[in-house]
Amino acid sequence: MKPVSYMNEWLWPATGQPLSTIIVEPSTSSQLVPWPLLQLFLAKFGAWYDHLAPIPRLILVISLVSSSSITVYSSGGRLHHQGTMTRAIRLLVLSLLGLFGIILAQQSAPIATRDEGDGAPVIPNIIDPNAVNAQSVCPGYKASNVKETGTGFTADLVLADDACNVYGTDIEVLDLVVEYQAADRLHVEILPKYIGQENYTWFVLPESLIPKPQAEAETAPSSDLDFSWSNEPTFSFNVTRKSTGDTLFTTHGSRIVYEDQFIEFGSSLPENYNLYGLGEVIHGFRLGNNLTRTLYAADVGDIIDANIYGSHPIYLDTRYFEVDENGSLTYAPNATDKSAHYESFTHGVFQRNAHAQEVLLREANITWRALGGSIDLYFYEGPSQDEVTKSYQTSAVGLPAMQQYWTFGFHQCRWGYKNWSEVKDVVDSFAKHEIPLETIWNDIDYMKAYRDFENDPINYPYSEGVDFLERLHQNNQHYVPIIDSGIYAPDPKNASDAYPSFDRGVEQEAFMLNPDGSLYIGEVWPGLSVFGDWIGALFNGTGANRWWISEVARYHSKIAFDGIWIDMSEVSSFCVGSCGSSNRSYGSVDATPGAPSTSTHNRNINYPPYTINNFKGDLADHTVSPNGTHHGGTLEYDFHNVWGHQLLNATYHALLDIFPKKRPFIIGRSQFAGSGNVAGHWGCLGTDKGGSGDNYSYWAYLYFSIPQALSFSLFGIPMFGVDTCGFADSVNEELCNRWMQLSAFFPFYRNHNEINAIGQEPYLWSSVAEASRVAMRIRYALLPYIYTTFYLSHSTGSTTMRALMWEFPNEPWLANADRQFLLGPAIMVTPCLVEGATTVDGVFPGVGSGNVWYDWYNLSAITGVSQAQNVTIDAPLGHIPLYVRGGHVLPMHEPAMTTTTVRASPWSLLVALDRKGEAAGGLYLDDGESLVPDATTWVDLSASASSLTAKPTGDFVDANALGNVTILGVQGTVSKVELSGIEVNPDNWNLDASKMVLQLTGLDALTSDGAWSAEWTLSWS
């Protein structure tokens, strides 16, 4: 080994090989010291030395060299004073013995214990001026051994030159798999050719954890996507859209870097590109070209552009082309000509990798970097956002969970409700002020010393809770408590500190471990805490899931909750490393080997050679350390981003155990691709309890709630909302007024704030109370429309909240529009987001191509507006501008105080005709709660030629009559109205010719058997 390289490995932990892997067993032919003791010393010295920073390493080496030199110098007779020589020798011997003793006193395994408080200071590579650019030193690969398959081909990728080993150890031979899985989906996978059990999870994301899209047939389908590759100068590939000739993704001009702890690849992008997705992040909807997206679940709060709670490694790329008179397409990076004709194409790219990642968006390119895993790319052809999103969900992550009807009502929560009496007063106050309240929530206040599954016996006794919940349920209202992710680790020496939930978890091997087999003990709200081992349960059959399901059921037997709120699930820990290991000893847990397994061999787990731009810096800061160990030997390093995802899965099955036939209702914090299959998410935009999530009561976060919601629609998590009125800091009346109205048009609608802020229940200000009543009347009237829209998200993958740009895909000036949105296809929301403003600017998309918009409040059509025109709209405090899109039929109910009462009220229809006098819509009916409904009905609603027809199909019986019908955009005069051939009494209908609105009331008598009991036609002439 060269001297410089040797010293580099000893002195610089960020780039050098760990010393513990350099030290090898010497020859046993001559042993002056018993080898087991020396071996123990060397192993412990290596592990101890590996954790020293560069400066302490340098001091140690200089000290040893200096003292040794003095001793040699003196023993050679150069120091003539015998006493000085004796003291020098004695000092060296004592120093070495002291060092020997300190090292031998180290624990016998690389415990995850590290300093409490903040993690070690690290410099992200993207801002480190001394960081090595892997593209400048790594050789890339050459493809060979190409073999065709039924759906594509395979090949070997071999290093093109000497390994660079810049941020790990280069993988010499890779497997390339290219397969056309479906007409709209291309799969490109690159992973090491030789993978064994010992390094399986370094590179492979198990399908049992995150499903892997599969080819739909044994032969390749016809596709508009084309894959090509080249070996010049090194291996690169292109993905092209055949119909346009547009290159969607190309690695040409860059090299693929593939090491055991670092992967890098990228693609050039067109000028002024439009990318969306890559969550979870607080950012505008369009990501822009100067952003580094870090995908590493972190409990960090509302930091703009930082990595926060979830990881969704998918983006959508929308490109606009100008179409000339011959139909030829020209890419339009700055499409501002309102007279030109444009056409857009959208494709999606999903990188199925759960390791810590960075995605660098720069002016002309995108670069992916990961600390492990594989290159597992899925290209979705589109060419529309709707097609990409549906295909992504149906092939990769699963369709969103259907929600119970009541979950679309209003939810109220606060951290700071001191006892059951205060919670009861809040519920009563909503009723007193005639503001609908569907569900009351509890934050951690209800817990005994912040322990899961135990109530505070003084403030939240079980007996009082039973009485309160019985009354709540009798009123058709609901209750949801928080359950945190950390489980208190009691003091085994203190009998009064006993915690049965913990004891049962230990018995079932339910918790994560240190590398030596002892329990990993971090710190959360209750103090020292352990964390569920969902990975060990999945791969090794240990008992985390069984334990969790049992504990949730035990708690429900005491407190009859209706859903669960999961928090702190990144997973959050307030100290760095297993900080409780020195204070709690439960003995070693049998970490029985199982598949897949892994180890830290040859990997720097806690401090990877490449430092991602993690907001917290150290990967162990405010979370479980990367070398936290799962039963079976796998490491948290390889599964960190899916810890919260697996907790949501466990909670889903826990609720199914309690309510076997009901849809589980879960709102969770940390999520991964596919979490929407079991849960919803609340937007955590700011500083929470002790430095975790939820939003600030600032105007900026009122705005940010919209792009965050639109992004989660793309991720397949439509059950989304934010902490209305803000979580941290005290809100003011104006902001809460605006926020209560905006959130009324999100699928999940909850007000929530923290203990140190003022109360913000909407009844505390008269103006907020009235604004809330106005918005809630609209929301509750629209519940059938919202429920139907959400059902289509659940059954087809369509979005519930929608960006204007994709509903009107040929209007490039909408590419950055994220201050307006659509709820479903027909309701456009244009909120006022500026403090002190009484107007708001908005656009009316599609007017240039004949679309009609109607004002929700006065029912009149919007006129005098040109294409792409920014219109100033009145928005006094307490008013949120809403518009109905022509061409749609909206099913509605009468608003009420609970969703149960809403569902029992007469039906009504709002028919918004387009310029052709046509409209269409649908209505989905079921019992509102069953996981697999016994009966369902779908009603097709269509209007044309001065008639409206309803065609029900299915066997769900709804006995509510049709009360009212309102038709917008009626042309000409009306002298007669008939319902299925029976003339409607003229007293029951009215035509406002100036607004072109036909209103019918009192239809109950003509539909007494139920509005959807049979097909009917309403006509006017």
Please check whether residue 504 is in contact with residue 551, taking contact to mean a CB–CB distance below 8 angstroms.
yes
Domain boundary pick from 397, 420, 442: 397
pLDDT at 88 over 70: no
What integer pLDDT is reported at residue 22 of this predicted model? 32
**Alpha-carbon gap, residue 797 to 790, rounded angstroms:** 9
Residue 88 in domain: yes
196 and 49 assigned to the same domain: no
Among 189, 567, 723, 818, the active-site one is: 567
pLDDT at 238 over 90: yes
Residue 478 in domain: no
Non-local CB neighbours of 326 within 8 Å, separated by 6+ positions: none
Average model confidence (pLDDT) across the chain? 90
Residue 460 in domain: no
What integer pLDDT is reported at residue 62 of this predicted model? 65
**Alpha-carbon gap, residue 890 to 894, rounded angstroms:** 13
Per-residue pLDDT reduced to its tens digit, 888-899: 999 999 999 999
SS (H, E, C) 597-660: CCCCCCCCCCCCCCCCCCCCCCCCCCECCCCCECCCCCEHHHCHHHHHHHHHHHHHHHHHHHCC
83 and 208 assigned to the same domain: no
142 and 235 assigned to the same domain: yes
What integer pLDDT is reported at residue 107 of this predicted model? 37
Asked if 567 is an active-site residue, the reply is: yes
Asked if 443 is an active-site residue, the reply is: no
Residue 495 in domain: no
Residue 421 in domain: no
202 and 238 assigned to the same domain: yes
What integer pLDDT is reported at residue 561 of this predicted model? 98
What integer pLDDT is reported at residue 585 of this predicted model? 86
Beta bridge partners of 816: none
Query: Which single residue is written with the structure tokens 């992967």?
Result: 263
280 and 206 assigned to the same domain: yes
What integer pLDDT is reported at residue 55 of this predicted model? 55
Query: Higher-confidence residue: 976 or 120?
Result: 976
What is the per-residue burial (b if ≥16 Cβ within 10 Å, else e) of 987-1001?
ebbebeeebbbbbbb
84 and 138 assigned to the same domain: no
pLDDT at 740 over 60: yes
Query: Higher-confidence residue: 68 or 400?
Result: 400
86 and 155 assigned to the same domain: no
Q: For position 967, which CATH number holds?
A: 2.60.40.1180
Residue 224, classed as helix, strand or coil, is coil
What integer pLDDT is reported at residue 812 of this predicted model? 98
43 and 149 assigned to the same domain: no
Asked if 317 is an active-site residue, the reply is: no
Residue 630 in domain: no
The mean per-residue pLDDT over the stretch 637-665 comes to: 98
Per-residue pLDDT reduced to its tens digit, 908-930: 999 999 999 999 999 999 999 99
* pLDDT interval class at 869 (50, 70, 90): very high
190 and 320 assigned to the same domain: yes
Residue 878 in domain: no
**pTM score, whole prediction:** 0.89
The mean per-residue pLDDT over the stretch 199-212 comes to: 97
Among 452, 570, 754, 811, the active-site one is: 570
- Among the residue ranges 109-123, 333-347, 534-548, 662-676, the one predicted with the least confidence is 109-123
Residue 1014 in domain: yes
The mean per-residue pLDDT over the stretch 38-42 comes to: 42
Quick one: what percent of the chain has pLDDT higher than 90?
Answer: 84
Looking at the structure of the chain, the number of domains it has is: 3
202 and 340 assigned to the same domain: yes
Domain boundary pick from 347, 382, 397: 397
The mean per-residue pLDDT over the stretch 79-107 comes to: 51
Residue 43 domain boundaries: 3-26+33-106
pLDDT at 108 over 70: no
Per-residue pLDDT reduced to its tens digit, 450-486: 999 999 999 999 999 999 999 999 999 999 999 999 9
Domain boundary pick from 89, 106, 123: 106
pLDDT at 965 over 50: yes
236 and 353 assigned to the same domain: yes
Per-residue pLDDT reduced to its tens digit, 925-951: 999 999 999 999 999 999 999 999 999
What integer pLDDT is reported at residue 684 of this predicted model? 61
289 and 393 assigned to the same domain: yes
What integer pLDDT is reported at residue 8 of this predicted model? 39
The mean per-residue pLDDT over the stretch 405-418 comes to: 98
What integer pLDDT is reported at residue 120 of this predicted model? 87
* pLDDT interval class at 887 (50, 70, 90): very high
Among 639, 720, 624, which residue's Cα sits nearest to residue 672?
A: 639
Among 184, 509, 562, 694, the active-site one is: 694
Q: For position 230, which CATH number holds?
A: 2.60.40.1760
